[in-house]
Amino acid sequence: MNSRTVGEDDGQDLEARPTRPPFDAPHTVSVIICAYTERRWDSLVDAIESMRVQRHPPDQLVVVIDHNHELFRLAQSTLPGDVEVLANAESTGLSGARNTGVRVAVSDVVAFLDDDAEAEPGWLQELLAQYLPNVVGAGGVALPVWPGNGRPRWFPEEFDWVVGCSYRGLPDTVAPQRNLIGAAMSFRRSLFDEIGHFDTAMGRVGTLPLGCEETEFSLRVRKAFRGTELVHVPLARVHHHVGPERTKVRYFLRRCYAEGISKAAVAQRAGSEQALASERRYVRSTLPKGLLDGLRAGLQGDVGGFARSMMIVVGLVTTTVGYLSPRVRNLSDNHSSRRAKRGR
């Protein structure tokens, strides 16, 4: 793991740390928005404007540009002076951009908003209200804003994570959560000083649909600070715009496959028991219910219901293939190595 990312605790056993004493109530919040392409400029401006109307205004607003010189110059020359514009100082990708923002954050809590999302006025207020002494992170709900005619009829709500949004099966009330939705999450700033930052070996790079850097970081937090919680906050809502390219079956399959690869990387770091606990519940409970709901809708005349049920199955199989693919490659490499040795 990149030492620049995980900090000086890289070689320590985080499990051996004592339970952290209760945390103080936070009073200030820094918001970090990461951007990488001029195509989302209007959306970035809207995301920033949504911070202007927060009932609890951010104490610091940081925009990090991910290795795009033209966009960096545009942001520096155009955005208001109270917006801190930075260039990603780490490797290309969302994890490096977030880390760059975290390093300059000065508030008690750091919140992350996607550059193609707009927060409702109560977003920050609802998140901060949940920071009890044992809470180290709080995440909201990302509601999809579909282009054109809206959600494709074949696209199951159980797979809204494919487009970076909250999915069916999440709690309807404030509840502990293993990891938070990246488009609307927040953490205590002190966590990053103690256990390091997001792993730059993971996560999205441009349009490459990898992910799970939030999951890996959240698992590290929970391992380091026993007795603390990350909480899901349904009333902390953001509206996440879905690009037209993400409404295609091809993207759906690519994203599912990439998620499987990403989950395999998390399992390698944290162990499959921790890394896949939520996924097992999702597969055992959420997906069967979605499958039956789709079939029932189809029988009642909604042809899209049959398509949604089919895509639940296809999505699960594709994600599983992605999860297994690194292991298959490793087995193949080991087999080839053994054959080469026998041939010498």
Cβ atoms of 263 and 203 within 8 Å: the answer is: no
Q: Chain-wide mean pLDDT for the chain?
A: 87
pLDDT the model gives residue 203: 54
Cβ atoms of 166 and 143 within 8 Å: the answer is: yes
pLDDT the model gives residue 256: 94
pLDDT the model gives residue 103: 97
CA distances from 307 to 81, 198, 290, 291 (A): 49, 37, 12, 10
**What stretch of H or E contains 291?**
helix 287-299
2-11, 64-73, 93-102 — which is least confidently predicted? 2-11
d(CA 113, CA 311): 29
d(CA 313, CA 9): 41
pLDDT the model gives residue 2: 37
Mutual orientation of helices 94-104 and 213-224 as an angle, nearest 10°? 50
pLDDT the model gives residue 273: 64
- 219 or 272, greater pLDDT: 219
pLDDT the model gives residue 7: 37
In this structure, the number of other CB atoms found within 10 A of the CB of residue 5 comes to 22
d(CA 51, CA 256): 32
12-26, 95-109, 223-237, 253-267 — which is least confidently predicted? 12-26
Q: Does pLDDT of 332 surpass 90? A: no
Q: Does pLDDT of 9 surpass 50? A: no
Question: For residue range 115-141, what is the model confidence (pLDDT) as tens digits?
Answer: 999 999 999 999 999 999 999 999 999
pLDDT the model gives residue 200: 84
When pLDDT is averaged across residues 47-67 and rounded to a whole number, the result is: 97
Question: For residue range 203-262, what is the model confidence (pLDDT) as tens digits?
Answer: 555 445 566 788 889 888 988 888 899 999 999 999 999 999 999 999 999 999 999 988
| pTM reported for the whole predicted model | 0.84
Report the share of the chain in percent with pLDDT over 90: 70
pLDDT the model gives residue 206: 47
Number of H helices, E strands in the chain: 12, 9
Question: For residue range 153-183, what is the model confidence (pLDDT) as tens digits?
Answer: 999 999 999 999 999 999 999 999 988 999 9
Q: What HEC string does 198-213 produce? A: CCCCCCCECCECCCCH
Closest by Cα among 104, 135, 111 to 58: 111
| SS3 of residue 338 by DSSP | helix
Closest by Cα among 170, 42, 45, 64 to 110: 64
pLDDT the model gives residue 283: 94
- 249 or 281, greater pLDDT: 249
Half-sphere exposure at residue 322, Cβ-oriented, CA atoms within 13 angstroms: 23
- 149 or 326, greater pLDDT: 149
Most confident of 194-198, 201-205, 224-228, 312-316: 312-316
CATH number of this structure's domain 15-249: 3.90.550.10
d(CA 72, CA 36): 9
The residue ranges of every structural domain in the chain are 15-249
